[in-house]
Amino acid sequence: MFKNILLLTIFNVFLIHAQNKGYVFDNQGNPLAEVDVFLVDQNLLFKTDLNGIFIIDSIIPLNSYFEFSKLGFKSKIVKFQGKNMNVTLSKLHVELDEIGIQENVTFLGNYKFLNIEKKSLNNNFISSTSLVENLNQLSGVNSIGSGLGIQKVVIRGLSGLRVVTYLNGMRIANQEWANDHSIGFTDLGLGRVELIKGASSLKFGGDAVGGVLYFQDEPFTKSSKPKGFLASKFDNSHFLYSNQFGFKLSKNNLYFNLYGEHTVSSDYRLPDKNYLFNSRFKNKALKLSFARLGEKLQTIIRYQFNNDNVGIPAHDCEGTNEISLDEITLNTIDLTEDYEMKIPYQVINNHLFNIETKYFSNKIKYNFFAGYFTNNLVEFGEKWTIPAFDMELSTINLRLNLNYNITSLDFNTGIQYNRQDNLNNISSRLIPDSFSDDFGLYTTIDFDKDNFGFNSGIRLDYKNIVCNDFNYNKLFNAFNSSFGVFYKINNHLSRLTYSASYRSPHLSELFSNGLHHGTNRFEVGNSNLDIEQSHQFDLKYQWNNDHFGFVLNPFLQLINDFIAINPSDSFYEDNYRIYNYVQYNKVRITGFELKLHYHPHILHNLHIEQSYSFINTRNIDNDSNLFFTPANKIKTKLNFDVSTYNLPIGFKNLSIYHLYAFKQTNVVFYESESDGYAILNAELLFNPIKDLNIIIGVKNLFNKDYTPHLSRIKEVAGGVPEPGRSFNLSLKYDF
Amino acid sequence: MKKYILSILAITGSSLFISCEKDDHDECHSCHLELQMADGTIDHDYQIGEFCGEDLHDIEENGYVAAEAFSHEGENFDAGTYTNVHCEEHADHDDHDDHDH
């Protein structure tokens, strides 16, 4: 079989043409224009014309899935049966939970069994100041960071190595163990993100005790002319200027996408009008993809480059956290010099190359993926010309997945190989040269008929970790499993999932031994660490009618041999506190998320969504909390679509976002409590001329002085605040 | 034709924007010594001047050579090599133009 796939990949030169036509209507039989017709397996997007017609001039394999979606309508999945399609979309009043109410196709698995959230990232560039900020609006999701330069995702209180990130199928390994190491890419060219809370994704998540983030590029588009966009944005609290372009070409069944981005940001302004020194950053990114989407065989090749220069703000040379806010802030900003990097700062270069081949036989879909990702992290601490460390982390990922049906059962079986090498380019080092080989086998079974379904799966992982400096060579075996069941009756939907996952210790946790300026500490690994074991129960109940929706999602996660990093009483060079990796016997994380959606009958264009997330963590060994437990939060979003009123200058939409964070008193002894706070953001969308969108927004409207509990500089100077009131202007022109 | 022109403009404009960025690898920085005072405190106020490019690298790698003995804050220090050299900049809340230690 391997041989056949290889031969087909190499000699994939047959071009077959045919024409498939379809119609999309609403419930009254009116044609629907601008409906997204997404060919899931082909990652190809079409749109309906004014008559609700879409035409696909190539042969589509039988049983391919089409996803039809349009804002304000219930999306629909249709299996292609070889003839023209007539599809009816019904009006959607309650968009409470995109997954669950609507039909969806998700890359991470079947949304009916797994706790998958999906979020569109189309226009994220103009509607959000960052990628992570957008994800932050999801319930149960938080971020660790300091301003826009450093941000990373926290899912139900877990982050770093426990939240595994995939980008177009490739695992992103970018020294994600540290809180000062960001996500590693921007929203450039991205179409959507899927998120699993907890360790339910056996296909992707060998290490994902906390969850999986799966980012997917925009689909390819078929067009006789080149398509693209130009976009710019400005934010006045960071003096941030950012530009993106995109360019798409297609001919026959060949597709080409190219994207670029450049961003510069200075130090951000605090609510008291001072500027946080060295919170500046720069980004350059380039992304290109090429695809040959044939009837039976499809090949996609992608390359992505991302360069970040990130200042590390609130740096405390004394390491004692006893400095004042005045010592780390400026009272004015000089734009001729305050975009330049100052030490300490990081230079990060990421290169991602991958190739994905799909082959569709009559009964089996084969998917072969090969990817290479290299992350070069150079940190300049106390010297301009001599880095504190310069590490090259390279990851090779190979995966073969077979998807097939037997009666009503849908099987996914696969093998996966992951090789990771950590190499130091200089003698000063934080983590020694080391490597790991991870071999995984998995199979999942889904049964879904009418209103009942179940899912079950197992995954075996063998991971070998070698570090010659420590004379370390150890094999870890892990057995992951997952079981989910759902039942729907009328408007009531219930789902229960159990998952068991096992995470091997990471190179950083085993072998770190050095000064880390980004975190102001000296970190010491522990080569005696063993596998971390997690058991999670996740229950979801959902009900909705035309105008009101409700979701309740309690969960319980028990983690044995939880790996953590703790401060000691010792100091390195009298300045930097020494932190040691340790293992707790038993940790318990409990909580629930509640979501409400209200949509008044008299004002169909108005949608109000509210989510509540409550979490409690417990280290049972010493009956205390876990470090960095997120504060409980209420997130409210109001969206008022005014496009039907034909208002001046193309005013189309008003959205308001309110965040209330409760006071966090559940802390460990070396962590301070944090106050509650509320912030309000607002945004206006204009569409003055065809294909031009303008967004004017304000963040932190009331200039609230607040420090989130998960701020990585909360302990410095009594808590460094987040940016004060900021205005932003974004433009995007599609051509 | 308009779309082709826009595409070319988008790509070339963005490339120029990226490539025109200032190269900051050869910039200059003011440096100071970290001195151990007689009462055991650490002093960061003895300025040794501005260093650029290779000179900056040399002083960061090998330290500062004081050819003669010197005095600072009423205390005397011997001639010799001082390895605790700092050239980092810090925020100075009151004066943006002078934020070296």
Beta bridge partners of residue A655, listed in sequence order: A639, A683
Last residue of a domain, one of A76, A92, A108: A92
Q: In this complex, which of A247, A278, A333 lies closest to B10 when CB atoms are compared?
A: A247
* Domain range for A662: 141-734
Cα A663 from Cα A666, distance rounded (Å): 9
Closest CA to A420 of A356, A380, A354, A464: A464
How large is the ipTM? Answer: 0.78
Residue A110: pLDDT band by 50, 70, 90 thresholds? low
Domain layout of chain B by residue ranges: 28-86
Does residue A98 lie in a domain region? Answer: no
Distances (CA, A) of A684 to A236, A643, A681, A690, A694: 17, 12, 11, 17, 8
- In contact, A658 and A680? CB cutoff 8 Å: yes
C-alpha to C-alpha distance for A37 and A34, rounded to whole angstroms: 9
Q: Does residue A302 sit within a domain?
A: yes
Cβ–Cβ gap B96/A330 under 8 Å: yes
Residues of chain B positioned with their CB less than 8 A from the CB of A317: 88, 90
Give the end of a domain, one of A92, A125, A158.
Answer: A92
- Whether A377 and A525 share a structural domain: yes
Residue B7 has pLDDT above 80, yes or no: no
What integer is the mean pLDDT of A500-523?
Answer: 84
Partner B contacted by A305 (CB < 8 A):
no
Q: Which residues of A touch B24 (CB under 8 A)?
A: 340-341
pLDDT band at B100 (very low <50, low <70, confident <90, very high): very low
The answer to whether A28 and A52 have CB atoms below 8 angstroms apart is: no
Q: Is the pLDDT of residue A142 over 70?
A: yes
Do A324 and A388 lie in a common domain?
Answer: yes
Closest CA to B62 of B77, B51, B76: B51
Does A225 sit within 8 Å of B24, measured CB to CB?
A: no
Classify the C-alpha dihedral A134-A140-A141-A144 as positive or negative: positive
Chain A's closest residue to B18, CA to CA, is A262
Do residue A331 and residue B4 have CB atoms under 8 angstroms apart?
no
List the beta bridge partners of residue A550.
A543, A596
Contact A385 B61 (CB under 8 A): yes
Q: Are residues A153 and A18 in the same domain?
A: no
Binary contact (A330, B99; C-beta < 8 A): yes
Q: Considering chain A, what percentage of its residues have pLDDT values greater than 90?
A: 40
Closest in A278, A329, A333 to B93, CB measured: A329
Task: Inspect the interface and report whether the beta carbons of A333 and B96 lie closer than 8 Å.
Answer: yes
Contact of A225 with chain B, judged by CB distance below 8 Å, is answered with yes
**What is the domain-level CATH number for residue A619?**
2.40.170.20
User: Could you give the CA distance from residue A107 to residue A369 in angstroms, rounded to a whole number?
Assistant: 14
Structure-token match 């907890």, residue found:
A198
**3-state secondary structure labels for all residues of A53-92:** EEEECCCCCCCCEEEEECCCECCEEEECCCCCEEEECCEC
Q: Regarding beta strands A692-699 and A677-686, do their DSSP bridges make them parallel or antiparallel, or are they unpaired?
A: antiparallel
Contact predicate A423/A433, CB 8 Å: yes
- Confirm if A592 and A139 have CB atoms less than 8 A apart: no
Q: What is the pLDDT of residues A631-684, one digit of tens each?
A: 999 999 999 989 888 888 899 999 999 999 999 999 998 889 999 999 999 999
Residue among A282, A327, A333 minimizing CB distance to B90:
A327
- Domain match, A57 and A149 both: no
Confidence of residue A127 (pLDDT cuts 50, 70, 90): confident
Pairing of strands A633-641, A606-619: antiparallel
Domain count across chain A: 2
Inter-chain touch A245–B10, beta carbons under 8 Å? yes
Q: Does the distance separating the beta carbons of A328 and B90 come in below 8 Å?
A: yes
Q: Which of A61-70, A666-675, A692-701 has the lowest mean pLDDT?
A: A61-70
Nearest CA in chain A to B5: A226
Distance from CA of B92 to the nearest CA of A (A): 6
Residue A363 lies in a domain: yes
| Residue A123 contacts residue A732 (beta carbons within 8 Å) | yes
Q: How far is A221 from chain B (nearest CA, A)?
A: 15
Q: Distance from CA of residue A662 to its chain's centroid? A: 25
Q: Name every chain A residue with its beta carbon within 8 A of the beta carbon of B90.
A: 277, 317, 327-328
Q: Which residues have CB under 8 Å from B6's CB, separation 6+?
A: A228, A230, A735
| Confidence at residue A101, expressed as pLDDT on a 0 to 100 scale | 44
Tokens (6 digits) for A720: 């460094």
Indicate which CATH number applies to the domain containing A88. 2.60.40.1120
Segment A598-642, tens digit of pLDDT:
878 788 788 888 999 999 999 999 889 999 899 999 999 999 989
Residues A151, A36 within the same domain: no
- Whether residues A180 and A296 share a domain: the answer is yes
Tokens of A1: 């079989």
The partner residue sitting opposite A247, judged by closest CB among B7, B56, B89, is B7
Q: CA A161 to CA A206: how far, in whole Å?
A: 11
Instruction: Calculate ∠ Cα A174-A358-A74, nearest 5°.
Output: 85
- Of A579 and A574, the structure prediction assigns the larger pLDDT to A579
Residue A539 has pLDDT above 70, yes or no: yes
Q: Which of A330, A340, A344 sits opposite B93 (nearest CB)?
A: A330
What SS3 class is residue A733? Answer: strand
Q: How far is CA A160 from the centre of its chain?
A: 12
Neighbouring residues of A528: CB distance < 8 A, sequence distance ≥ 6: none
Choose from B1, B2, B5, B6 for mutation: most chain A CBs within 10 A: B6
Average pLDDT over residues A560-573: 88
